[in-house]
């Protein structure tokens, strides 16, 4: 049976991951609206990853005998001034998620749940990759400034990203 405090913290993270999925879906809609299909594809892959992350925690909590408690998801931002602004928001969001994963690990360590620490280590490593990927796109967007031709080249590159279901844990 899972510790009650850890169960609550995992539930908070499950809800945060579902919010992340919703957040990326909002960005997906934005890129659809401005007809940047590669950027839209990048967000589609991202929202699928976030769903997988949420379900990994969801399933883990059930495996440990815990109870999943879903909460209302707040409305995400829906408008941006540019793709660069979107990716600035993405980086801030991923940094927030990293801090939440660190806090969740703190709880697992506090209650001395080594199985949870081991499981959550995957999420921490995933966040390093997430921040790096976002940072790389943002660096490229910063380089091109307002060059529309370069923006379309990046759009074509982002269209090649594919979703590979993660093996969590």
Complete DSSP assignment for 11-63: HHHHHHHHHHHHHHHHHHHHHHHTT-HHHHHHHHHHHHHHHHHHHHHHHHHHH
Confirm whether 163 is domain-assigned. no
Q: Examine the pLDDT at 64 and tell me if it is beyond 90.
A: yes
Residue 52 to residue 64: CA distance in whole angstroms: 18
Q: Examine the pLDDT at 1 and tell me if it is beyond 90.
A: no
- Count, in order, helices (H) and strands (E) of the chain: 5, 0
Q: Which structural domain range is residue 36 located in?
A: 4-70+80-158
pLDDT for the residue 138:
96
SS3 content of the chain, % helix, strand, coil (to 5): 75, 0, 25
Confirm whether 63 is domain-assigned. yes
Confirm whether 75 is domain-assigned. no
Confirm whether 167 is domain-assigned. no
Q: Give the CATH number of the domain where residue 30 resides.
A: 1.20.1260.10
Confirm whether 51 is domain-assigned. yes
The CA–CA distances, whole Å, from 61 to 12, 18, 109, 119, 158 equal 12, 15, 16, 11, 34
pLDDT for the residue 159:
97
Confirm whether 169 is domain-assigned. no
The CA–CA distances, whole Å, from 51 to 1, 22, 151 equal 25, 9, 28
Q: Please provide the distance, in angstroms rounded to a whole number, between the alpha carbons at the two ends of the chain.
A: 18
pLDDT for the residue 80:
98
Q: Examine the pLDDT at 145 and tell me if it is beyond 80.
A: no
Confirm whether 56 is domain-assigned. yes
Q: Summarize pLDDT for 69-127 with one digit per residue, the tens.
A: 999 999 999 999 999 999 999 999 999 999 999 999 999 999 999 999 999 999 999 99
Residue 153 to residue 169: CA distance in whole angstroms: 36
Structural domains of the chain, count: 1
Q: Summarize pLDDT for 32-47 with one digit per residue, the tens.
A: 999 999 999 999 999 9
């Amino acid at each position: 049976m899972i510790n009650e405090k850890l169960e609550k913290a995992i539930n908070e993270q499950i809800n945060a991951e579902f919010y992340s999925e919703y957040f990326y879906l909002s960005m997906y809609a934005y890129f659809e609206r401005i007809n940047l299909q590669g950027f839209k594809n990048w967000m589609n892959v991202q929202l699928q990853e976030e769903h997988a992350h949420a379900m990994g925690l969801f399933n883990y909590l059930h495996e440990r005998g815990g109870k999943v408690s879903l909460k209302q998801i707040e409305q995400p931002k829906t408008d941006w001034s540019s793709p660069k602004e979107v990716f600035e928001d993405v980086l801030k969001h991923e940094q927030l998620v990293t801090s939440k994963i660190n806090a969740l690990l703190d709880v697992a360590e506090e209650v001395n749940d080594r199985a949870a620490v081991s499981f959550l280590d995957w999420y921490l490593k995933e966040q390093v990759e997430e921040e790096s990927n976002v940072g790389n796109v943002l660096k490229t967007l910063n380089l091109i400034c307002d060059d529309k031709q370069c923006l379309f080249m990046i759009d074509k590159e982002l269209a090649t990203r594919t979703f590979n279901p993660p093996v969590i844990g």
